[in-house]
Amino acid sequence: MAGDSSKPHDPNRLLERHLGNIAREHRQRNHLTIGEVASQMGISSGMLSKIENGQASMSLDTLVQLASAIGVPVSNMFRDYNMPEGGARLVKREEGMQIVRGGTTKGYVYNLLAYDQGPRRRFEPFLVTMTDTTEEFPSFEHPGIEFIHVLQGKLQYRCGHQIYPLCPGDSLTFRGDTPHGPERLTEVPAIILSVIVYGAEDL
């Protein structure tokens, strides 16, 4: 959980207000009190109040906990966010929502490049920047098929029992339920495009 921004039109601040409004709307619709939801999430009522008022940002893990506590899919939290007439959504450079992936501590930044809509998540594109060669990366597992493409730097990437050396221009595609993640950074910053497509594993 972190903090605050002084820019009045900062995209993260606009998103925080949107998520807070959606959270309050669904909490009230389901006749839940702030105390009940906060208790289920393991945070204070004051912190939940700040989230609902757009005064606090959330990690991805906290967002998942909030959506579960108010009884909605995570994708519904982003419904109608910043959607202009015509259906296209532009995310300018460095304006993707910055999130922290569970299990990492430093030097590992995820920028969400698009906010999927509708009752089901269909895809999630991330720009992942890794800058700390001492970081110990956990293994990730999730639904869907993941595609990664290296834009900058060099790394060894673990997928199942295999280690793949990756350089700029290299790509790797794998099932999300196979344990995976960076094994070692050999040239930093390492920047990769990661796209998760949900439901593709069933095709």
**Helix/strand/coil for 189:** strand
Domain identity same for 107 and 189: yes
Each residue's pLDDT tens digit, 156-167: 999 999 999 999
Asked whether residue 201 carries a pLDDT value surpassing 70, the answer given is no
Each residue's pLDDT tens digit, 65-109: 898 899 887 777 876 666 555 566 667 776 666 665 544 555 577
Residue 60 binned pLDDT confidence (cut-offs 50, 70, 90): confident
Residue 154 lies in a domain: yes
DSSP of 7-61: -TT-HHHHHHHHHHHHHHHHHHHTT--HHHHHHHHTS-HHHHHHHHTT-SB--HH
The CATH number that applies at residue 186 is 2.60.120.10
Rg of the chain over Cα atoms, rounded to whole angstroms, equals: 18
Note the pLDDT of residue 168. Answer: 95
Q: Answer yes or no: pTM beyond 0.75.
A: no
Q: Where among 24, 44, 78 does a domain terminate?
A: 78
Residue 91 lies in a domain: no
Task: Look up the domain containing 28 and give its range.
Answer: 11-78
Q: Where among 49, 78, 107 does a domain terminate?
A: 78
Average pLDDT over residues 22-42: 90
Domain identity same for 106 and 174: yes
Average pLDDT over residues 32-52: 92
Note the pLDDT of residue 103. Answer: 47
- Averaged pLDDT of the chain: 81
Q: Look at the chain and report how many structural domains it folds into.
A: 2
Domain identity same for 63 and 123: no
Separation CA 196–CA 145 (nearest Å): 6
List of residues 6+ apart from 79 with CB closer than 8 A: 22, 117, 118
Domain identity same for 21 and 58: yes
Is-contact 170 141, C-beta < 8 A? no
Proportion of the chain above pLDDT 90, given as a percent: 37
The CATH number that applies at residue 34 is 1.10.260.40
Residue 123 lies in a domain: yes
Helix (H) or strand (E) holding 194: strand 180-197
Q: Which two tokens stand for residue 86?
A: 């015509």
Domain identity same for 54 and 111: no
Residue 136 lies in a domain: yes
Residue 5 binned pLDDT confidence (cut-offs 50, 70, 90): very low
Note the pLDDT of residue 3. Answer: 44
